Amino acid sequence: MHLAIVLPLLAAVATTALSPNTTAPGIIPGTTGHYVAAGGHKYYFLESQPAASPIGTVLLFHGFPDFSYAWRYQVPFLTSLGYRVIAPDLLGYANTDAPCDITQYALKKMSTDMTELLDQIAPGEKIILGAHDWGAGLAYNFATWFPDYLKAFFTISVPYNRPWLGPSLEWADMLDLVQNGTYPTMGYQLQWRELAVNRNFTTRDQTRSFLNTGFGGLTPEGGAGLSPHDGLHYDVMPLLENQTLVSAEDFEVYVDKISQKGLAGGFNWYRTRRMNWEDELPLAKKGPFKFKTPYLFIASEQDTFMPPELYNNTGSYFEDWSIETIAAAHWSMWEKPSEVNAVIRKWLTNL
Ligand SMILES: *[C@@H]1O[C@H](CO)[C@@H](O)[C@H](O)[C@H]1NC(C)=O
Ligand SMILES: *[C@@H]1O[C@H](CO)[C@@H](O)[C@H](O)[C@H]1NC(C)=O
Ligand SMILES: *[C@@H]1O[C@H](CO)[C@@H](O)[C@H](O)[C@H]1NC(C)=O
Ligand SMILES: *[C@@H]1O[C@H](CO)[C@@H](O)[C@H](O)[C@H]1NC(C)=O
Ligand SMILES: *[C@@H]1O[C@H](CO)[C@@H](O)[C@H](O)[C@H]1NC(C)=O
């Protein structure tokens, strides 16, 4: 009897919450915010529509620890070029679900989620995909499994390595690859994949400290709180001055939204490497894999986590590609927005 009363109410709430047709403003000017069910999760995305009928759709994947706001300066720009722009909060972040089940963060699973999102909001369309940081990892996977959804794609800061992210078909744990010098700048991942790191970042102040560190806050002597080789330096983090990458207002937006879900969901992206390898192994066994979808890599020249050695072989994985370099560190979309926009525009024009 109670159930009979309660269930219809729950159903009504769920339907309203998942309607992709709300007109609530999104956090980036000119956008609206929407929810959609995909892959068994509730995803949130920002949408921006050009004044005239769109010339295409651009889908944007942010990285770690980030959310749709990563594209603060790209969404209005791409809209002004005539594109419809969609920027989801990816799994684990901000207004989107952050399940505890780590398998949900396997890149192939999240790629499938994105096809379900697109099937609802851009059915049958070949879209342009853009991605930064871990969003790039997802984009490479999406382009591997679902190329039919894509007209072209670009990634920022994180280059493509082999599908299984190791030097051979054999499983190689990241610990071995860091220790034997294959990926020396990925030592921080060993710290972030530990479940124990979750409980160091549960409060708003801890999230603030992580973001300040990740956005490049320095000690008065110029020291960093984060190293590509061994991750967070917990003794240095409290000594950092305020980051200067984003404005104080934008930083508060980040603290508000990232502390909403905390960092555990984002850290889960570092914990599915073995699953990603298993998912991609059958494909890798078929021989050298090459992407056919047109591709642009936007390298960040001063990104110490992603030195040029990691993208000196990109050409062997892409049939149709180009590279542009931005004189910026990891967060080039915030540091050099107009330069990033200019290379995207040039590439779009020549597609
Ligand atoms: C959203 O609006 C579009 C266009 O008006 C319509 O085709 C679609 O069915 C609507 N979706 C929902 C879930 O209401
Ligand atoms: C590092 O270890 C991996 C995995 O065992 C191996 O494939 C690779 O050849 C090693 N690289 C070096 C430089 O020793
Ligand atoms: C958690 O923080 C403490 C310092 O407060 C540090 O010693 C420890 O290594 C951290 N744990 C992880 C997994 O990073
Ligand atoms: C650093 O940022 C905090 C808020 O995050 C602010 O209260 C404080 O005044 C800032 N310090 C400086 C030196 O700007
Ligand atoms: C890329 O750089 C690495 C490290 O310096 C080097 O071992 C490798 O041979 C280079 N590959 C190419 C294709 O230049």
Residue 197 in contact with ligand 3 by CB distance below 6 A: yes
Lowest-pLDDT range, 3-7, 72-76, 253-257?
Answer: 3-7
**Closest to 95 in 3D by CA, of 44, 37, 163:** 44
Given this model, what pLDDT does residue 6 score? 38
Given this model, what pLDDT does residue 47 score? 96
Least distant ligand from the CA of 185: 5
Query: Does residue 15 have a pLDDT over 70?
Result: no
Query: Does residue 172 have a pLDDT over 70?
Result: yes
Q: Active site residue: 113, 133, 279, 303, which one?
A: 133
User: What atom in ligand 3 is closest to the CA of residue 234?
Assistant: 4
Find tokens 């989107």 and name the residue.
96
For helices 273-285 and 134-145, angle between their N-to-C axes, nearest 10 degrees: 30
- Report strand pairing: 127-132 vs 56-61: parallel
Given this model, what pLDDT does residue 3 score? 40
Query: Does residue 14 have a pLDDT over 80?
Result: no
Name the pTM for this structure: 0.92
Query: Does residue 223 have a pLDDT over 80?
Result: yes
Smallest CA separation from ligand 2 atom 5, residue: 172
Residue 156 in contact with ligand 2 by CB distance below 6 A: no
Residue-wise pLDDT for 84-135, tens only, equals: 999 999 999 999 999 999 999 999 999 999 999 999 999 999 999 999 999 9
Q: What is the rounded average pLDDT of the residues 208-217? A: 98
C-beta atoms surrounding 264 within 10 Å = 17
Tokens of 143: 């382009």
Smallest CA separation from ligand 3 atom 10, residue: 197
Q: Count Cα atoms within 13 angstroms, Cβ side, for 65.
A: 32
**Closest to 47 in 3D by CA, of 118, 153, 134, 133:** 118
Confidence of residue 18 (pLDDT cuts 50, 70, 90): low
Whether 330 is catalytic is yes
Residue-wise pLDDT for 246-293, tens only, equals: 999 999 999 999 999 999 999 999 999 999 999 998 888 888 889 999
Residue 23 in contact with ligand 1 by CB distance below 6 A: no
Least distant ligand from the CA of 198: 3
- Report strand pairing: 127-132 vs 226-227: unpaired
Is 239 in a helix, a strand, or coil?
helix
Lowest-pLDDT range, 23-37, 143-157, 211-225?
Answer: 23-37
Contacts of residue 254, Cβ cutoff 8 Å, sequence gap at least 6? 69, 211, 215, 246
Query: Does residue 1 have a pLDDT over 90?
Result: no
C-beta atoms surrounding 286 within 10 Å = 7
Residue-wise pLDDT for 315-341, tens only, equals: 999 999 999 999 999 999 999 999 999
Given this model, what pLDDT does residue 165 score? 52
Given this model, what pLDDT does residue 167 score? 55
Given this model, what pLDDT does residue 164 score? 53
Given this model, what pLDDT does residue 13 score? 38
Tokens of 322: 């180009």
- Dihedral of the CA atoms 5, 6, 11, 13 (nearest 10)? 120
Ligand 2 centroid from CA 282, angstroms: 21
Tokens of 163: 């599908």
Q: How far apart are the first and last CA of the chain?
A: 60
Least distant ligand from the CA of 173: 2
- Dihedral of the CA atoms 121, 124, 126, 128 (nearest 10)? 10
DSSP letter (8 states) at residue 228: T
